[in-house]
Every structure is written in structure tokens, then in C-alpha cells.
Amino acid sequence: MNDNSASLAKYRQKLRLKRITLGVCLCVLLAVTAVWRITHGEWNIPSARVAELLSPSLSAAERITPEAIVVRSVRLPRFLAAVGAGGLLAVSGTVLQGVLTNPLAEPYTLGIAAGAAFGGALGFFFGTFAIMPMAFIGALASIWLVNMIAWKGGGGSSAYIVLAGIVTNSILSAGVTFLKSIADDKLGAIVLWLMGSLTGAAPLSAAMVWLGAAVSFFPAFICGRQLDAVSLGDGRGEALGVDEKKLRLFLLCTASAATALAVSCFGIIGFVGLVTPHILRLLIGPSHRQLLVFSFLTGGALLAIADGVAQLLGELPVGVVTALVGGPFFCWMLVFGKRAAR
């Protein structure tokens, strides 16, 4: 028993050191990325000047200078939007993988992205003002459809939710293809939106994704212990006194609604919610309260960096960058990740 206790204490100390190190590294990475994203662009602005322009005491005359407008109204909202959207997607992926006990579960495999894509594509036919609300409505409608199919077919079990998501995704993806086929002059705009982009991110959209991140993060963090129990699988959560079906429905709806908000603002940005939780489980273990915090930081940093790379490559849609990097990396992680973690 003494040997076991000593080994457990050593493991916990090692894990605590890993978490502290990772947290410091992520905070430094976010700070460096913020400086890079706000100071560099078509017009490079020194960091000292940026600090002056971001000061709350900046005069009214200074606020309307070209430098101030670029920093305060363009670059800062875009960076904040990238961090908020990346954190939101990563947190949602962590929650869905845990509550559905499926390592491939994320907002996009459950049909949420397809619902938002269908709604947004339909919104192009009514005008640009309708894209965001229609995308949000489409995503929420897909959530409702997935839950209805799962509850009718299998009582809301995680397996049926994933299957219902696959079916819903297929149907709505076919609907998007149909809309593109009749779009005519709107086809280019629809395709570009579907790729996902943070270009033109406004303070309002940045604030919205941070609100969505809070909606996804805080309920899951409060239910962290229950989520740990449910993620063990095989009904062990029920044996520990957790109502798995109610918890699953609650967290599925909050994570999906938050994701719907991000997709309606910036389009389809894949792989952030799928890859990030896998990386972190290998590094810091499966405890969900820690995973949620580190998922937000990691997802935010990854998407902010990806957005910077997309801009350097000529304003590519950031969804293209995350797919090109995330897809091969996820394949590598599935094959070699556990071996490398040892």
C-alpha cells in the first residue's frame, strides 16, 4: 500500500507539473500571437504604438486616426474572434466527446455544421442580412432533429445520437449541394462562406462567440465530475448516481447551440474541436474540468495562429488551413499518438 501510495503521489505531482508547464506555455503563446496579429499586416505598426492606441485614455482625436481604426476596429476584434471561436469549438468538442463517449464526436460529425451550412446557404437567397440568423436557425433545427431521431429510435443513447448525427449530416449536406446547384451568381459567395473565414470580424461577432464560449464552458465545468463519470462508459455514470440521459441532453444542447453561434458568424471551421481534445488527453489526462480550461486556451491559440497563416497566404479561408493541417495531423495522432505519449 505504501508503494502504491508513493507511486500515485509521484504520478499526481508529475501531472500537476505538466499542467502548470502547459498553462504557462499556452498563455505565453497567446500573448506572442496577440502581438503578432495586432502589430503585423499590410501596415506594420510598432508594438509600443499599439499599446498607446489600445489605452483607455486615448483621446477622441486619436481614436479616429487610421492607425487607431486599424488596431481597435479591425485587428483586435479579429484576434479576439479567432480566440473565442477556437476556444468555443475546442470546448464543444471536448464536451461532446466526453458525454457521448465517442472520440470522433464533435459538432460537425453530429450534423450541426451541415444544418448551419444549409441555413446559411438558404439565407444567401434572401440577402446578406439573412445569412447569420438563417445559419443559426438551421443549426438549432439540426440539433432538434438529431435529438428527436435519437430519442425516438434509442431513448437518447449516445450511440443513437451519433448515428442520428451522421444521417442528419448526410441529408443536409445533400440539401446544401442542391442549393449550390441553383445558386447561379451567388455560388461563389456561398462556397467562400462554407469554407470558413474570420475576414471582416467585427466587435459584435467577437463578443457573440465569447458569449457562446461561456454558454458551452460554464455548464460543462460545473458538471465536470458527472461528465467524468459518464465518459467512463458502460453505464458507469448511472452506477455512480448520474442521470446520464438528462446530462447528455443538457450538455449536447448547450455545446451545440454555442457551436451554432460560431458557425453562423464565421462559417465552417473544422478539426479544431476534433483534434484539440485528443492532444490534451494525451498530455494532461482525462479529467474534464482541466480539459475544458486547457481546451479553450489551446483551441483559441491554434485558430488565431491558423488565421494569421491564412492571412499571410493571401486571405485564404481559415477553414481551409485548419483542414489542411488538422486532417493529416489527426491521422498521425491516431496512428502514433499513444506511442509518442509514452
What secondary structure does DSSP assign to 206-224, as a single string?
Answer: HHHHHHHHHHHHHHHHHTH
Answer yes or no: is pLDDT of 265 > 60.
yes
Predicted confidence (pLDDT) at residue 338 exceeds the cutoff of 70: no
Q: 163, 145 in Cβ contact below 8 A?
A: no
Residue 235 region by backbone torsions, left for phi larger than 0, else alpha for psi between -120 and 50, else beta: left
pLDDT beyond 60 at 339:
no
Number of domains, the chain: 1
How confident is the model over 34-45, as a mean pLDDT?
A: 91
Range of the domain at 107: 2-341
Tell me the average pLDDT across 32-48.
Answer: 92
More confident residue, 65 or 5: 65
Query: With the CA atoms of 168, 267, 281 and 237 taken in that order, what torsion angle do they form, in degrees rounded to the nearest 10?
Result: -40
Query: What letter represents residue 43's amino acid?
Result: W
Q: Name the percent of the chain lying above pLDDT 70.
A: 95
Residue 54 near residue 76, CB atoms below 8 Å: yes
Spatial separation of the C-alpha atoms in residues 53 and 70, rounded to whole Å: 10
pLDDT in tens, 289-307: 999 999 999 999 999 999 9
User: What CATH number corresponds to the domain at position 41?
Assistant: 1.10.3470.10
Top mean pLDDT of 101-110, 147-156, 241-250, 287-296 is at 287-296
pLDDT at 340: 46
